[in-house]
Structure 1
Amino acid sequence: MPTAIYTEPVTDTMAWTGADFTSKEDFAFDLSARNVVALESILAKTAHKDRDDITPEDARHPDLDDDLARLYRDVMFGKGLACVRGFPVEQHSIEELERIYWAFCTHLGYLVSNNSFGHRMVRVQEEILPGGVQPARGTKSRAELAMHNDAADILALLCVYPAAQGGESQFASGPAAHNRVLAERPDLLEVLYRGFPHHRRSEQPDDQPDVTPYDVPVFSQIDGRICINFTYSSILPAMHALGREFTPQEVEAVDLLRNILVEQQVEFRLESGEAAVANNFAMCHSRSDFVSSNDPKKARCFLRAWMEVPREDRRLPIGREYFHMENKDLRLGYDVVEGRDGTIARNDYKNVNAELADMFKAAQAKPKVKNT
């Protein structure tokens, strides 16, 4: 069931708006030369291991541990967003960089699977389907992505190569959005705390339904810590699949929140060697459309990792109804479904027909907010 509605303004450091920042310098976290040397030493000492077998213990280093613990605290309990700069992109192959990045990410939590195929780190890079069709899967498309949440406690996106044009990142604070709804339309909070069904895009095990058999709250809270879980491109197809119409009040609530998130976002461009690290259930994120370099070796490429943190640090309430997947032991990310062909995940969703794929794409478009 939904949590109690929080009716006081949130005043902590997580409740920021884009106007509070002048540039990404305001939330930058620079890796020191010692940090980079430590990461490269971990790369060398784990050369005999597969990337996914590098453990948190392997990644411990006296020149790294305290600094990344500070980063973790800021992401989980401070601003909730950091631009980590200084990854040695030019000095390493992408395979080596993935291993360095994996070691870095283990300091932030347990890396969970990004899909039902078991991919715990994915390359966000455009891939065109036959006939020049853009995939519905956002990690393989160049299209803009509307504000949404991912499926873990911490999201980390490392820029290997930026786009030639576009591809800016946007983040918006959930607590700050909650403050706006509370101030402007408190009557709509009940709708948002109740939530909506989510489409699982065929990532669930075959014996589970495509649409959640419960509504996933958009807002929830634990002792005033606001959680946001809002992905319109999962909500709209789910409502369609169920034959369920939005009520007028639900339309108002969704439209208001979508507009607030865009109005209050911070936007910045990640350059090569920079990573955005965010508290996923404290904020939504999006991306502008982009054009990649004509040089295929320099095509826009990001590395994405999702981390699960200890339950006592989580912002998302513990319970089946707060998350769109029914994973074993209420884990985040996606349970691996044995026997699935992992190559499918490289370009598009499994068993999603053209009508639903078009709906996913349409719902990923951002609302056009009028300048006031």
Structure 2
Amino acid sequence: MTGMTDAGEALHTPCSGPSVWRGGDLANLDEWILRFSSRQLAEIDSALREARRRDLTLLKLTAADFPLPTLAGELRRIAQVLEHGRGFALVKGLRVEQLGEPAASTVFWGLGQYLGRPVPQNAAGHVLGHVRDTGRTLTDPATRGYQTRVALPFHTDGADLLALLCLRTPRTGGRTSLVSSAALHNAVLDLRPDLAKRLYRTYYFDRRQEHPPEEPPYADAPLAARPGGALSMRYNRCYLESAQRFPQVPRLEPADLELFDLMDEVAGSPESRLDIDLEAGDLLLLNTHTIMHARSEFEDHDQPELKRHLLRLWMALPHRPRSDGARDGVAPRDVIRPRNAASQAETNPRRLPT
């Protein structure tokens, strides 16, 4: 592996601050769990009515079209926690069963407008994602994690912020786990200082066929960077290893695999990770620079209308300098040809639901 980055003092200085936490310390606390009040839910209902009155396409809906006079301040506070605090928040209580999927999608999009700028999640340019099992496996180079029910190891996503709204839960399994990237960084530094420098090397990630024809099918980036002193972590072992199928990509060295093994072991330990069983109406928000997430395998319901279903937004932080490793999602291809009318309707709705 080539491309050693001069990480300077970062190789010897542990991360500090509220982004460094251990799941074992948070498991019995509720400071990271928020709940929409009845007044806030009424405000969301009012914003939904106003959005419908304006009769805009969902992609054109802005915060101004989804007015939240008092809740906007709370969302700004949450945004500060995501960017400068522990890096995640769980907000409970959205009445998704009463809203139904189309209206819940509008509410989810409207709330997201107060947190960041939605960015594409795939090469087709879809910005409102649907997380559900499609029967694919991760061994298929075209498969992405949100399309399968198999367990997903700890990883980061391709945008600054990740938002998930749970509409329906599976029959069993599907537990979400979070880990502090800064705490993981410190553990590597403490346990294997000889491997810590490899966090700052350039690695190659498989783009899983989500790239423009004129660009390479892999992307290069270090696992860790500290622009301005704040840690930004990028990790997806599945994509790191599947990028080895390209002959142009330098071969992973034994020490690289040792590093990956150590990261996976620390992240998956009960002391490090925070386990969350998402319920219908839960809104999970993550800063992908400072939080890694995983999901256990799940068994779904037989009835299609009961199957596990989450809505997903990837968002960019407008104020984050692009030179600081900001993540803008997947670059869309020039021509978008939906496979069928149903996929077009669910990902690019023409009008807000009534």
Q: TM-score, normalised by structure 1?
A: 0.83
Q: Does 1:250 align with 2:256?
A: yes
Correspondent of 1:93 among 76, 83, 100: 100
**Partner-residue secondary structure (3-state), 1:256:** helix
Structure 2 residue ranges without an equivalent (≥5): 344-354
Show the counterpart of 2:89.
Answer: 82
- The amino acid across from 1:275 in the alignment is L
Q: Does 1:146 align with 2:146?
A: no
Show the counterpart of 1:334.
Answer: 330
Show the counterpart of 1:59.
Answer: 66
Q: How does 1:309-324 map to 2 (within 5 A)?
A: 309-312=317-320, 318=323, 322=325
Shift of 1:56: 2.2
Change (3 A) 1:134 1:227: closer
Shift of 1:3: 5.7
Correspondent of 1:15 among 14, 20, 23: 20
Structure 1 residue ranges without an equivalent (≥5): 323-329, 347-372
Show the counterpart of 1:281.
Answer: 289
- The amino acid across from 1:4 in the alignment is A
Q: Is the 8 A contact 2:27 2:274 kept in 1?
A: no
- The amino acid across from 2:266 in the alignment is I
Map Cα deviations across residues 295-330 of structure 1 (whole Å, 9 max, x no partner): 221110000101111234x6xx726xx5xxxxxxx7
- The amino acid across from 2:256 in the alignment is E
**Partner-residue secondary structure (3-state), 1:171:** strand
Map Cα deviations across residues 172-198 of structure 1 (whole Å, 9 max, x no partner): 111001111111111212211013111
Change (3 A) 1:134 1:32: farther
Change (3 A) 1:3 1:269: farther
Show the counterpart of 1:102.
Answer: 109
**Partner-residue secondary structure (3-state), 1:119:** coil
CA distance in 2, matches of 1:23, 1:343: 46
Map Cα deviations across residues 144-179 of structure 1 (whole Å, 9 max, x no partner): 111111111110111100111000001111100111
Show the counterpart of 1:69.
Answer: 76
Change (3 A) 1:75 1:129: closer
- The amino acid across from 1:189 in the alignment is A
Q: TM-score, normalised by structure 2?
A: 0.87
CA RMSD of aligned residues (A): 2.3
Correspondent of 1:230 among 218, 235, 239: 235
CA distance in 1, matches of 2:48, 2:97: 15
Correspondent of 1:112 among 113, 119, 127: 119
Compare relative contact order (CA 8 Å, sep 6+) and give the higher one, 1 or 2: 2
Change (3 A) 1:343 1:16: farther
Change (3 A) 1:152 1:134: closer
- The amino acid across from 1:231 in the alignment is N
Shift of 1:339: 2.1
Show the counterpart of 1:44.
Answer: 49
Q: Is the 8 A contact 1:24 1:268 kept in 2?
A: no
